Amino acid sequence: MDAGGWAERTNPDRPELRTRVFLEGMHRLGLQAANVSSRDLRHGAEFLRWASDSLGIGLVSANLRLRGAPLVRPYVLQSLDLGGKTIRVGIAGVTGDLPGYEDAWPDSLPLEIGDPFAAAREMLATLESQSDVQILLAALPTDDLERLSQELPGWDLLICGTGDLREAPPVGFSPAVLSPGTKGKFLGWVTLRIASETVAIVEAEVSQLDSKVPDDPDFAAWVEAAKKRLGSQPTAVLAAPSVPAHP
């Protein structure tokens, strides 16, 4: 899962291509669901469609709307078989409104960013009856997520996508806020125990991915090929967005 902020925004050299390569790499690592933050809107609607259709990544956002309809799916449901039992996981996404995307969404594509707290409340009510574990991917400051977790304790895990880095949440009953930083420099993970109608955190860690963690040879080879691709390919220009990325 990715909580948002995956679009390239600091390097002006072919940012769309860099975002494509990043998402391709994350998909190879098993990325299945990604929140669309306001920062991820800067490449336009066609880019979102490519990420969803070509890579099969489940893009989610509960508070992004285009012409009054959801820009992407508000949530996704995934099933995991653990110990002979099927666990249903509901994953929703919300974002705050940060500038920088406006040029990709002209007046012909009227985009609306709704209240993330209200959207999270609505999604929780929707998911509680359909899933055993509820996860919120949120491009919101960690302090806001902490407050949201107190107001809506039904969310079991809230993952921050703004790049804030915090220590792992304490062991105990949910909800828990996980904020593992950004740019792949840290790995955040939690182990959950599901019993009856309660979810407990039995282990949690935020680990730095430094030289002590050996590279996977196959993926390291893919990274080197991606670097060559970025170094040699001409500037890629996507077509101007003309249609929304419908669910």
CB 175 within 8 A of CB 201: no
pLDDT at 238: 35
Residue 69 in this model has a pLDDT that exceeds 60: yes
**If you average pLDDT over each of 11-20, 131-140, 167-176, which comes out highest?**
131-140
Instruction: With a cut of 70, say whether residue 156 has pLDDT above it.
Output: yes
Helix-, strand-, coil-residue percentages of the chain, each rounded to 5 = 30, 30, 40
pLDDT for the residue numbered 137: 97
Q: How far apart are CA 106 and CA 241, in angstroms?
A: 9
Segment 16-35, tens digit of pLDDT? 999 999 999 999 989 899 99
Q: Which residues of 83-110 are buried (b: 16+ CB within 10 A; e: fewer)?
A: eeeeeebbbbbbbbeeeebeebbeeebe
Bridge partners of 76, per DSSP, are 91
Domain extent listing, the chain: 15-232
pLDDT band at residue 168, thresholds of 50, 70 and 90?
Answer: confident
Q: What is the mean pLDDT of residues 148-163?
A: 91
More confident residue, 57 or 60: 60
Distance CA 196, CA 81 (A): 17
Angstrom distance (rounded) from CA 174 to CA 159:
13
Q: Which two tokens stand for residue 25?
A: 């790499």
Least confident of 67-71, 82-86, 181-185, 186-190: 181-185
Is residue 62 predicted with pLDDT exceeding 90? yes
Residue 42 confidence (pLDDT): 93
* pLDDT at residue number 76: 96
What letter does residue 85 receive in the DSSP assignment? E
Asked if residues 126 and 143 have their Cβ atoms less than 8 Å apart, the reply is no
Residue 200, pLDDT above cutoff 70? yes
CATH class given for the domain over 15-232? alpha beta
pLDDT at residue number 117: 97
pLDDT cut 70: percent of the chain above it: 92
Higher pLDDT, 122 or 206: 122
